Structure formats: structure tokens, C-alpha cells
């Protein structure tokens, strides 16, 4: 990409008269910069700028350039690096002939969990990561984005799934399975809670309309109302088995509806949230404020059958091993 194109697209101001006129790639981590790269200085850090130059950067894009350490490369200053990266991302996206599907974060995970690898590429609310993801993608790629403002900034014709899709649901005894009829097809015991079923049905309708191959049987949520089943000894069990369940939600905005949903099945549950979020949950009963992650395992030893945790499942999963995994670790 030519330096003059970067300046034009980002409305940047060139701070010197470099001898180079183009770059090879763009990166946000100064430690990963290679010869010929453009360094996107997201932290406005003189240290990172120097590191990028040492690693061979051909250009630096930043909101603050006060020390030009190499006059041979391009130093470009912008008013807002975030806005500059949005413009660069829009430019890169326009070359890909791609499509963006705006969905909420739950639907985004459902799409990722029901389609083939690389069918959809996930875009992030972090515009810098989104820029890198678009650059790394191929032609005619379909993207999902849960940030509405960013999605429509990149693609004014961005498609939005209607999650008010009507469907016929069947009663279930478990909060972790759902059965329903969608587009005259019966889906039985899908591993997703009923509160997400309308999203799933709307996505199925979209897939069928666009002739996109999908498989709901392999769906397994990891970030939203995602359970770990354990026995009384806290050994991990297969999905749907075990005497106790620890449930994880990654987004606090979803917790109120999930608490109400779980209360339709049982009163034998406790809500665990880090202490820094206590003001968000003052209106709920049975809330335990966590000082550290390990307290979740201590609570699981007590009488509560269900524990709903606000946090990332990956941070806790290592605490709960299968009996076989625990035995192997004792002899290693």
C-alpha cells in the first residue's frame, strides 16, 4: 500500500519527507513488526514507536509524533487513530467484496458454532483487531459483527437478522436444552437454552434463505449461559450429566434475563459476580461477591445445585477436571 494512499484515506499529515513510498502490511504490536510494515500506534507510545522502528517499520501512524528517530521512513500524524483505523478498515473491506452480518454477541457465537470453519469471520468491537482481521481475510468473505456502529460504518448495506422470528417451542425439563419447530422442521434437544431459541431460529431461516450449510447438533456455547456439569466430588461430567452445574456468562447485560430464566426451573441457585460489579446486582437475591476465582469452586462444594457466574468460562474450566484427568495429574 502506498504512503500517499494511507495519508489520503486517514486524513493524516505527513511529518517528514521519507525516502520510502509504500508499506507491506499493518500491525498494532510493535514487537511483531517486520521490515516494511506500517505500525499503528494505538497507545501513543514513544517507546513502542522506537521498538517498531528498530524492528523495521517503514511507517508509523499515531496521534502523537514528537520524535522522528528515522527520517527515511514515513511518520504520519492523525487526529484520531481509531477513526483512521475505521477508514482503513472500510477501504480494505471494500476491496474484499465481502458481506457483514450485524448480530448481537449471542447470535454471533451461535453462527460461529453452527457453520463450517471460515464460513464467517468474526469482527471485534475493537476496531484495531477488526482492521487486522479484514486484512488477513480472503475474497468474498462473510463477516459477523456485534458492534452496530462499527458494522454499518464498514458496510452501509450491512444485513441485520430479525431475532423476533416466530417459532413453536416445546416444554423442556432442562434449562440447557431446547426443542422447537422452525420453517416446518423439528429440532430436538439442541444444546442451547430456550431464551436463545428465537435467535437460533432466525439464524436457521437466514442460513436456509442464503443456502449456507449449517449443523445445529454441533452447537456448544462457550461464552453465554455455558454450563460445566460436575458430580458431588466436583469431577467434570458429560453435558447434561452430574449433580451440580456451574454456568458462565461473559456479558453482564445478559445476566438479568438469564437469572429470570433459571428461576423458572429452580430456586436452588446462587449468583456469583466479582466484587467490582456489586452495584449492578443489588436488586437480586442470593448474590455472592467474589474476591477471587477460586471461591467458585468452594461454593460448588455447598448445597446449591446451580451456580451462575459472571465471568469467562476459560478462566474457571481448569478448576474442574474429569476423574481421569485428575488421576493422571497425580502421577505426573
Q: d(Cα 160, Cα 103) in Å, to the nearest integer?
A: 6
Which of residues 48, 79, 110 is at a domain's end?
79
Q: Is residue 66 predicted with pLDDT exceeding 80?
A: yes
Which of residues 172, 196, 221 is at a domain's end?
221
Q: How many domains in the chain?
A: 3
* 59-62 vs 74-77, strand pairing mode: parallel
Nearest Cα to Cα of residue 205 among 324, 111, 328: 111
| Residues 244 and 211 reside in one and the same domain | no
Q: Is residue 328 predicted with pLDDT exceeding 60?
A: no
* Cβ pair 255, 287 in contact under 8 A: no
Return the minimum-mean-pLDDT range out of 85-94, 115-124, 171-180, 283-292. Answer: 115-124
The enclosing domain of 61 has a CATH number of: 3.40.1390.10
Beta-bridged to residue 22, according to DSSP, are: 2
| Residues 37 and 139 reside in one and the same domain | no
Task: Express the helix, strand and coil content of the chain in percent, nearest 5 each.
Answer: 35, 20, 40
| Residues 264 and 162 reside in one and the same domain | no
| Residues 241 and 284 reside in one and the same domain | yes
| Residues 107 and 14 reside in one and the same domain | no
Q: In this predicted structure, what is the pLDDT of residue 327?
A: 63
- Mean pLDDT across the stretch 85-107? 93
| Residues 317 and 264 reside in one and the same domain | yes
Q: Is residue 228 predicted with pLDDT exceeding 90?
A: yes
| Average pLDDT over the chain, rounded to an integer | 91
Nearest Cα to Cα of residue 255 among 297, 283, 234, 218: 283
Q: Is 149 helix (H, G, I), strand (E, B) or coil?
A: helix
pLDDT band for 329, please (50, 70, 90 cuts): low
Q: In this predicted structure, what is the pLDDT of residue 325?
A: 66
Range of the domain at 35: 3-79
Q: d(Cα 33, Cα 52) in Å, to the nearest integer?
A: 6
70 assigned to some structural domain: yes
Nearest Cα to Cα of residue 92 among 54, 128, 145, 144: 128
**Which grid cell sits at 126?**
475493537
332 assigned to some structural domain: no
| Residues 137 and 247 reside in one and the same domain | no
52 assigned to some structural domain: yes
95 assigned to some structural domain: yes
The per-residue pLDDT for range 242-276, each reduced to its tens digit, is 999 999 999 999 999 999 999 999 999 999 999 99
Q: d(Cα 59, Cα 16) in Å, to the nearest integer?
A: 11
Q: Is residue 120 predicted with pLDDT exceeding 60?
A: yes
Q: Is residue 9 predicted with pLDDT exceeding 90?
A: yes
| Residues 32 and 144 reside in one and the same domain | no
The per-residue pLDDT for range 42-55, each reduced to its tens digit, is 999 999 999 999 99
Q: What does the buried/exposed string (b/e) look like for 253-283 if buried means 16 or more CB atoms within 10 Å of the residue's CB?
A: ebbeebbebbeebeeebbbbbeeeeeeebee
Q: d(Cα 132, Cα 40) in Å, to the nearest integer?
A: 11
Q: Is residue 279 predicted with pLDDT exceeding 90?
A: no
Which of residues 79, 113, 141 is at a domain's end?
79
| Residues 93 and 209 reside in one and the same domain | yes
| Residues 126 and 110 reside in one and the same domain | yes
| Residues 72 and 91 reside in one and the same domain | no
| Residues 40 and 91 reside in one and the same domain | no
132 assigned to some structural domain: yes
Amino acid at each position: 500500500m502506498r504512503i500517499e494512499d494511507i495519508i489520503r484515506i486517514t486524513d493524516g499529515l505527513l511529518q517528514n519527507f521519507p525516502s520510502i513510498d509504500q508499506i507491506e502490511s499493518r500491525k498494532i504490536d510493535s514487537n511483531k513488526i517486520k521490515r516494511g510494515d506500517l505500525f499503528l500506534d494505538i497507545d501513543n507510545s514513544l517507546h513502542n514507536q522506537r521498538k517498531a522502528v528498530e524492528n523495521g517499520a517503514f511507517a508509523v501512524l499515531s496521534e502523537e509524533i514528537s520524535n522522528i528517530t528515522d527520517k527515511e521512513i514515513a511518520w504520519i500524524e492523525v487526529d484520531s487513530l481509531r477513526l483512521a483505523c475505521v477508514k482503513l478498515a472500510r477501504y480494505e473491506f471494500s476491496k474484499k467484496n465481502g458481506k457483514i452480518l450485524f448480530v448481537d454477541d449471542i447470535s454471533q457465537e451461535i453462527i460461529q458454532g453452527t457453520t463450517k470453519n471460515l464460513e464467517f469471520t468474526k469482527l471485534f468491537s475493537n476496531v484495531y483487531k477488526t482492521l487486522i482481521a479484514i486484512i488477513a481475510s480472503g475474497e468474498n468473505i462473510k463477516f459477523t459483527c456485534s458492534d452496530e456502529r462499527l458494522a454499518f460504518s464498514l458496510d452501509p448495506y450491512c444485513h441485520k437478522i430479525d431475532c423476533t422470528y416466530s417459532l413453536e417451542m416445546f416444554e423442556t425439563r432442562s434449562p440447557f436444552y431446547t426443542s422447537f419447530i422452525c420453517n416446518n422442521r423439528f429440532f430436538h434437544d439442541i444444546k442451547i437454552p430456550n431464551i436463545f431459541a428465537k435467535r437460533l431460529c432466525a439464524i436457521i431461516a437466514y442460513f436456509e434463505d442464503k443456502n449456507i450449510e449449517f449443523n445445529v447438533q454441533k452447537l456448544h456455547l462457550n461464552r453465554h449461559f455455558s454450563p460445566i456439569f460436575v458430580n458431588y466430588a466436583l469431577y467434570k461430567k458429560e453435558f447434561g450429566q452430574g449433580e451440580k452445574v456451574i454456568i458462565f456468562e461473559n456479558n453482564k447485560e445478559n445476566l438479568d434475563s438469564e437469572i429470570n430464566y433459571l428461576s423458572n426451573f429452580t430456586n436452588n441457585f446462587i449468583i456469583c459476580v466479582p466484587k467490582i460489579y456489586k452495584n449492578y446486582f443489588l436488586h437480586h437475591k442470593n448474590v455472592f461477591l467474589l474476591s477471587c476465582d477460586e471461591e467458585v469452586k468452594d461454593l460448588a462444594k455447598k448445597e446449591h445445585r446451580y451456580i451462575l457466574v459472571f465471568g469467562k468460562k476459560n478462566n474457571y474450566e481448569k478448576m474442574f477436571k474429569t476423574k481421569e484427568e485428575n488421576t493422571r495429574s497425580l502421577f505426573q
